[in-house]
Amino acid sequence: MSGLPANAAGYSLYVYADGDNGGALRTGVYQISEAGIGTTTINVMDAANTNFNGTFVQGKKSAGNYALFAISATGFTLTATPGTLSDGYPRAPVNGIQIVAN
């Protein structure tokens, strides 16, 4: 993503992630890289037997359905990589992203 207007207060980036994983526990590794600033990584665990029920739960090395990043640049790269899992099907779903000016 590029072309965000410069904003002294920065941005909040929400990455929504919830897969239909049945009885398996899966972890998605979500990473943003900002030019000239560095890289931030957040692991979100998609709990077994839990699908989105209308409640948003921030995951940060815990069970949840979204990751929240602070962005201070005008662009970033988002990478989603499968992490720890309890079955043989690695996943790192991205259901949507939201960028909010602070």
pLDDT at 79: 97
pLDDT value at residue 60: 85
Residues 28-52 as b/e (b if ≥16 CB within 10 A, e otherwise) read: bbbbbebeeeeebebbbbbbeeeee
Local structure of residue 4 (DSSP, 8 states): P
Determine if the pTM surpasses 0.75.
Answer: yes
Per-block mean pLDDT, blocks of 10 residues, the chain (102 long): 93 94 91 90 92 91 92 94 88 94 96
Contacts of 68 (CB under 8 A, 6+ apart): 12, 13, 14, 15, 42, 58, 60
pLDDT, residue 62, reads 83
Domain boundaries along the sequence of the chain: 11-101
